[in-house]
A and B are shown apart, each in its own frame.
Chain A
Amino acid sequence: MTASPETIDQICKLLEPFNSTGKALTSDTEISADLNIDSVAVMDFVMEVEDHFDIEIPLNVVSETHSISDLAAVVDARVKKA
């Protein structure tokens, strides 16, 4: 599953407030492992993504999503379905 560059770009913008490491965000960035974001903050971030795209991303899907590109692919698939 590949994600559109626009979606990746938008997810990076939404993730930036949660990124306290100063690391530059790319499609390969692992949201939790690379940015040292705890489990609750990851869920809070995904809620922002859900509301921005007006889609539902169940927690079961979040747990299988590691990188920004993984999440962007989920978003694209769900936006299309909606």
Chain B
Amino acid sequence: MIDLLDKHKTIAERHARMMTMGVNAVGLTNDKILSPTRAMINGRETILAGTNNYMGITFDVDCIKAGQEAMAEFGTGTTGSRIANGSYALHKELEAELARFLKRKHCIVFTTGYQANLGMMSGLAGPKDTIFLDADSHSSIYDGCTLSGAKLVRFRHNDATDLDKRLTRSEGEEGGRLVVVEGIYSMLGDRAPLADFVAVKKKHGFQLLADEAHSFGVLGPHGRGLADEAGVEDDIDFIVGTFSKSVGAIGGFGAGNHPMFETLRYAMRPYMFTASSSPASIATSLAAIRKLAAEPERRDRLRANSARLFAGFKGLGLDMGCDMVSPVIAVKCADEVSTIGMWNALLEAGVYVNIALPPGTPNKLCLLRCSVSAAHSFDDIDKIIALFGKVVASRAAA
């Protein structure tokens, strides 16, 4: 008999190597969450700088109250899919509110952001179609593309000229064409050059989807994401996003103006065959989205904090993931062993960041990835900079 788990032995060895160097960097336990920016980890109060809690909204009293009331009124769970069990009024209310916020005619919510990409990719494209996806796309996009059965063509990251070339190569083939880009890329924090992609769209004709997972609520004058910031919303056919970052809950959404958009509900297996979001999660998402609309100062604080951390790291001479200020600020490190060492040293000194290693990163990069929150104080940001100076910059210089 061949043991099915034998194929994962190299993963087990790699993980065991990591464990000899300190705590589990890819399975850390937060013993207590004290606030959007603080947790007790291994008995220490730790600054959280790797949570994607961009708006710092997870402990907002109104959001918590909305969740508690929804749980009391609608119960703990929905116990099934919306196709089988029906929608709760809250699901419809959230979809209507989100459509208003996004200025889109239609919106469909999913149970997680991952499922939103699985659903949208597989609902939009089928075996006769081609999906052109950015090389640095998130795994949920890759997995959704695979689920679709479409032909998959990968283009060079953020390179509209490369997309143009690959579209030209596929000219004359049957089926529709979907191009997928992201607002802010989760590992390096860089943004898609949307205007360039829109120009290629006008030349070749295809349908364009932007995953605004890290940019929804964060970028643009109205917080609608990169398309809002770049002023090209009319040219983006479909938006995907998540509630697990700026919204501080769990769930995801797809949105668009296409007259047949609602039909996707009956064509997306990751929407049809999974339980719908719990009442508490839907209610907190709804309350948080209303806050994103009503409190633009959260975005201002996030921008100021991000700029401060970016400038601080630049001052330390750190090699960063991109040259533009973004709430995702990644520091490139030399190799896996030193990255794990520095990650442990940062944690011991009282700051939690994400560790990101190949193949989860582009170009085999080893990263210490920070995500900034509107709830960080300048003092928090300065502490993070000082600790990176002590732990990371000093090693890079050594």
State A59–B135 Cα separation when bound (angstroms): 11
Among the stretches A4-12, A23-31, A36-44, A68-76, the one at the interface with B is: A36-44
- Cβ of A44 and Cβ of B135 under 8 Å apart? yes
Residue of A40, A43, A47 with highest tally of chain B CB at under 10 A: A40
- Residues in B whose Cβ lies below 8 Å from that of A47: 135, 154, 156
Per the 8 Å Cβ criterion, residues 153-192 of B in contact with A are 153-154, 156, 166, 169-170
Contacts of B154 in A (CB 8 A): 43, 47, 59
Contact B364 A41 (CB under 8 A): yes
Is residue B358 within 8 Å, beta carbon to beta carbon, of the partner chain? yes
Contact A59 B364, CB 8 Å, known A40-B359, A44-B135, A47-B135:
no
In this assembly, does A60 line the interface, its C-beta being within 8 Å of a C-beta of chain B?
yes
Interface hits, B318-369 → A, CB 8 Å: 358-359, 362-364
Q: Is B151 an interface residue (CB 8 A)?
A: yes
What is the predominant secondary structure among interface residues of chain A facing chain B? helix
Q: Is B147 engaged at the interface, CB distance under 8 Å to the other chain?
A: no
Does B387 count as interface, using CB distance less than 8 angstroms? no
Known: A54-B169, A56-B169. A40 touches B152 (CB 8 A): no
Taking residues whose C-beta sits less than 8 angstroms from the other chain, chain A's interface range is 10 to 19
User: Can you name the residue of chain A whose Cβ is closest to the Cβ of B127?
Assistant: A60
Indicate which residue in A43, A55, A59, A60 contacts B169 across the interface (CB closer than 8 Å): A55
Residues of B within 8 A of A41 (CB): 358-359, 364
A55→B359 CA distance, assembly (Å): 25
- The contact string, 1 if C-beta is below 8 Å from chain A, for chain B 79-103, is 0000000000000000000000000
Interface residues, chain A, CB within 8 Å of chain B? 38-41, 43-44, 47, 54-56, 58-60
The 5 closest A-B pairs by CB, nearest first: A38-B359, A59-B152, A40-B359, A58-B151, A56-B169
18 sample A-B contacts, Cβ–Cβ < 8 Å, listed by A number? A40-B358, A40-B362, A41-B358, A41-B359, A41-B364, A43-B154, A47-B156, A54-B169, A56-B169, A56-B170, A58-B130, A58-B151, A58-B152, A58-B153, A59-B145, A59-B152, A59-B154, A60-B151
